[in-house]
Amino acid sequence: MTQYHMFQIQTVAPKIRRVTFTNPPVNVVGADTVAELSAVVDDLSHDEQVQVVIFDSGTPEYFFNHADLGQMPQLLAQTGTDSTPLFIDLSIRPASAPFISIAAIRGRTRGGGDELNLAFDLRYASRKQAFFSQPEVAIGIVPGGSGSDRLPRLLGRDRALEAILTSQDYDADRAEQYGWVPRAVADAELDNLVDGVAAGIASFDRDSVLGAKAQINRATLPPEADLRASWAEFSRSVSWPGFQARVPQLGAAMAEIGLNEMERNLGHYAALMNQQA
């Protein structure tokens, strides 16, 4: 198995792996993250013993966070299979992977990080620690990594519009109510829930698990052409004047109030920044 800088792979049981993402201080998702996670999915997909993979975080208060704006040119330049943008390629492959992916969400997951979260097969959230957001519109761009394609299918059109157009943070209870996650539980219960679901799925016949997954994929997944179109629209939006003006504003705000405060309450500060513009 390849050694990774940001991801640790642990064998939980013969058919279960745990992948822990650690990129302190706030688990931003950069081009380096996308490249590593793509390789992780490849490695696990070629291991015929693996039936369930749990994804969690080793950075307190953060799961998979938003894209690293400092690596935006590299993110836009990465390509995967058939010249598909690597981020889109990565967001597609968990659904077709020969294992069930489960997100154990403790902490904030936003923007590109939430889009990776949405690509996992199952998502379970800590009621105390999990928060969700697609903050792109507040900073002058549009979602590009599948958020605007997956959320309407999970939340419905009106709630997806609300989430994306307000750019606000949603706590785990609201996320469960809306369908962002199938279940939110007390933080002390999260590991037992995820481990129990993983063990149950791992005990079933592999063919039946993957066959059922394929059936549900046909009924629910957005067309790949739509995901590529969303990425193209996102790529264009990075050059829009509004985004170009907000990047230095974000930097100034972060320097004034501090990285941790800004990241903990990103929805609030993004809205405030626009009101003051």
Q: What is the pLDDT of residue 277?
A: 59
What does the pLDDT look like over 165-197, one tens digit per residue?
999 999 999 999 999 999 999 999 999 999 999
In this model, does residue 101 exceed pLDDT 90? yes
The pLDDT assigned to 10 comes to: 97
Averaged pLDDT score across all residues of the chain: 95
Where helices occur in 11-85 by DSSP H, the ranges are 31-45, 72-77
Q: Is the pLDDT of residue 45 over 80?
A: yes
With beta carbons less than 8 A apart as the criterion, state whether 54 and 20 touch.
no
Residue 205 has pLDDT above 70, yes or no: yes
CB 150 within 8 A of CB 175: no
pLDDT at 252 (0 to 100)? 87
Residues 6+ apart with CB under 8 A from 105: 56, 63, 117, 123, 124, 125, 126, 130, 172, 181
- Output 32 or 251, whichever has higher pLDDT: 32
What pLDDT sits at residue 17?
Answer: 98
pTM above threshold 0.75: yes
Domains of the chain: 7-204+220-272 (3.90.226.10)
Task: From 193, 32, 224, 10, select the one nearest 119 (Cα to Cα).
Answer: 224
pLDDT of residue 200: 98
Tell me the pLDDT tens digit for each residue of 126-152.
Answer: 999 999 999 999 999 999 999 999 999
Q: Is the pLDDT of residue 1 over 60?
A: no
- Residues 80-100 pLDDT 10s: 888 999 999 999 999 999 999
Query: 192 and 175 in contact (C-beta within 8 Å)?
Result: no
**Nearest 5°: phi and psi at 192?**
-65, -40
Report pLDDT for 270.
Answer: 79
Report the percent of the chain where pLDDT is more than 90: 87
Q: Residue 266: what pLDDT? A: 87
